[in-house]
Structure formats: C-alpha cells, structure tokens
C-alpha cells in the first residue's frame, strides 16, 4: 500500500500551528541577573584571595594619603561592586595589617640593635676598653627599658617621703598651737595655798 509523505503543516508542532511558536526566535534565558537596590547589576562574590588583594591595594592608597571618598571612587573604577559598609571593613583590615607589620618590623629592629650592642661590647672587652664596654651595657639597658622600673620606684619613694614630711610638719604645728595648762593656785582669800616642792601645803604668813 502506498503512503503519502507528511505535509509541511503536519510536520509543525502544535504551538507552531497555532502561531504561538517562532522557530527563528532565540531560546529564552533560564535565569535572571541579580541587581542591587540602586538598579545596578550585583557583582559576583569576591573570593578570599581577591579580598586580600583589595586590602593590600587599599593599604597602599591609605599610605599615599587617600581619603574615604578617594577609596570609594577607586573601588567604583575597579568594578568591585561593594557598598560603603564593605569598604569600611576593607579599611579596617588594612589598618590591622599595617599594625601587624609595624610590630614585626619593630621586633626585628630591636633584635638588630641588641645584637649590634652585644658585638660592640665583645670587641670593647677584647681591646680592654672598659669605659666603652660600660657605655654599651648602659645603652642596652636603656634600650630594653631595664631602668624604667627603678625610676618608678625612686619616684614613688620620693613621693612617700614628701608626704611623711608634710604629716610631721602638720603634727608639729598642731602641738605648737595647743595652749599649755599650768597647775591651779588660789590666793589667800580662796582658801587654798600653793604647794611646795614636797607637795605639802605651804602655810600662809599670818597678819
């Protein structure tokens, strides 16, 4: 039995037959881009490595004297897509990074100065230059703050001595202002006579 080939209308899908489909139309996007409140597209979340790099860049900008508005403009030009609150967090991390590096640098510098003084002290002893050796020891003690506690104790002792002296002066002035009481005596009309050295009443002369 001979069959007829399907017509062009039969080969179309039901949607195309109804006029709802367009084979030439591109496929619709399956997802939508996220946007911020201001309508701009939201940048993808930065990785830890990218955040560290941004913090380093902000640190260099701050060392060059950049202000917050300069940093905001820089982040916008770089396309970071972050809000001011996130920039403040980056700046806080930059400050912490700078403080950490300064502490490490200070520790290395202190270690270098101590090592240099130890070497100079050894050479001074070898050459019998004891005056220089003593000066080097004194310098190292000042460098490490060895004399700071002694100075504090001396200042405290001087303060306490001054307070003790003030208290003694106030007590002496109080004793000087207090009136001296003498033994009471009565005249002949009062009926009590003065007492002699033995404590016995001295007879009054008769008239």
The contacts of residue 48 (CB under 8 Å, 6+ apart) are none
Taking the C-alpha atoms of residue 107 and residue 137, their distance in angstroms, rounded to an integer, is 20
Taking the C-alpha atoms of residue 73 and residue 77, their distance in angstroms, rounded to an integer, is 6
Compute and round to an integer the Cα radius of gyration of the chain: 50
What pTM did the predictor assign?
0.39
Nearest Cα neighbor of 59 from 86, 31, 96 is 96
Give the three-state DSSP class for 201. strand
Asked if residue 144 lies in contact with residue 137, where contact means CB atoms within 8 angstroms, the answer is: no
DSSP 181: P
Alpha-carbon dihedral angle through residues 56, 62, 68, 74, given to the nearest 10 degrees: -50
Q: Say what the pLDDT of residue 198 is.
A: 54
3-state helix, strand, coil in the chain (%, to 5): 60, 0, 40
Asked if residue 17 lies in contact with residue 9, where contact means CB atoms within 8 angstroms, the answer is: yes
Q: Say what the pLDDT of residue 158 is.
A: 79
Q: Say what the pLDDT of residue 157 is.
A: 75
Q: Say what the pLDDT of residue 148 is.
A: 73
Taking the C-alpha atoms of residue 93 and residue 62, their distance in angstroms, rounded to an integer, is 12
HSE toward the beta carbon, residue 2, CA cutoff 13 A: 1
The residue extents of the domains of the chain are: 48-143, 146-174
* Per-residue pLDDT in tens (0 to 9) along the chain, 207 residues: 555 555 555 555 554 455 444 444 444 444 455 555 555 556 678 888 999 999 999 999 888 888 999 999 999 998 998 999 999 999 999 998 888 888 888 888 888 888 888 999 999 989 988 899 899 888 888 888 877 766 666 777 778 788 778 877 887 887 777 665 555 555 555 555 455 555 555 555 555
């Amino acid at each position: 039995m001979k069959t007829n080939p399907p017509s062009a209308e039969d080969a179309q899908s039901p949607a195309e037959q109804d006029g709802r489909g367009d084979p030439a139309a591109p496929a619709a996007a399956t997802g939508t881009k996220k946007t911020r409140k201001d309508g701009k597209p939201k940048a993808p979340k930065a990785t830890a490595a990218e955040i560290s790099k941004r913090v380093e860049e902000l640190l260099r900008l701050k060392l060059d004297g950049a202000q917050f508005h300069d940093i905001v403009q820089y982040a916008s030009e770089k396309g970071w897509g972050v809000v001011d609150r996130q920039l403040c967090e980056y700046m806080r991390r930059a400050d912490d990074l700078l403080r950490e590096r300064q502490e490490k640098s200070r520790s290395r510098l202190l270690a270098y100065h101590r090592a240099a003084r130890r070497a100079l002290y050894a050479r001074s002893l070898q050459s019998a230059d004891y005056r220089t050796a003593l000066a080097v020891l004194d310098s190292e003690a000042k460098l490490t703050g060895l004399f700071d506690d002694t100075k504090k104790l001396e200042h405290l002792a001087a303060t306490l001595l001054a307070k003790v002296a003030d208290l003694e002066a106030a007590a002496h002035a109080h004793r000087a202002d207090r009136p001296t009481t003498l033994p009471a005596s009565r005249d002949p009309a009062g009926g009590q006579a003065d007492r002699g050295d033995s404590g016995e009443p001295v007879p009054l002369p008769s008239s």
